[in-house]
Structures are given as C-alpha cells and as structure tokens.
Amino acid sequence: MATNVELQKGKNESNLNLLKRFGRKVQEAGVLQYKRSIRYAEREQSPYTRKKKRLSSIKRKVEVEKLIKLGKITPRVKGRR
C-alpha cells in the first residue's frame, strides 16, 4: 500500500503550519493506521508446525496423567481458585 502525500508550502505559510498540515494529510490517508495494524500480525503456522505442537501437548498430557496416577502431583480441580 503505497500512498504518497505531497504538499506545497504556501506563500505566507510557516514551516510549522506546513508540518501540521502534513500530519493531518498523513492521518487522513490512513498510512499510520495501516502500518500499526500489521505491526504485530503473526503469520499462519504451517501444518507441520501445528502437528508438532499438538503431538507435544498430547505427550505432556499423558505424562501429567501418569504422574497423577503415581501420586507425585495433585490433580487440578476445575472451577476452584
């Protein structure tokens, strides 16, 4: 998204007024809003990465269930703090 904002300095216009006008034009064009919206966007995970993550969570769940059965950790009760 390339948006050019171009201004000409008026005959009796100060540099400060030109800067203010430029800021307004940039805001109206939505350049900064667009850039800020994509700043922290995360890309979609690949199928292989999703599979690895899911397998590791299943492995971790089985390990926790085993430790609960052995009495090494206490099970969490949902709804209690």
- More confident position, 9 or 52: 52
Nearest to 5 by CA among 34, 37, 32, 29: 29
Q: How confident is the model at residue 1 (pLDDT cuts 50, 70, 90)?
A: low
Q: How confident is the model at residue 81 (pLDDT cuts 50, 70, 90)?
A: low
Which pLDDT value is given to residue 80?
A: 62
Whole-angstrom Cα distance, residue 56 to residue 52? Answer: 6
pTM exceeding 0.75: no
Q: What percent of the chain has pLDDT over 70?
A: 94
Summary mean pLDDT of the chain = 88
Give the domain ranges of the chain: 9-41, 46-76
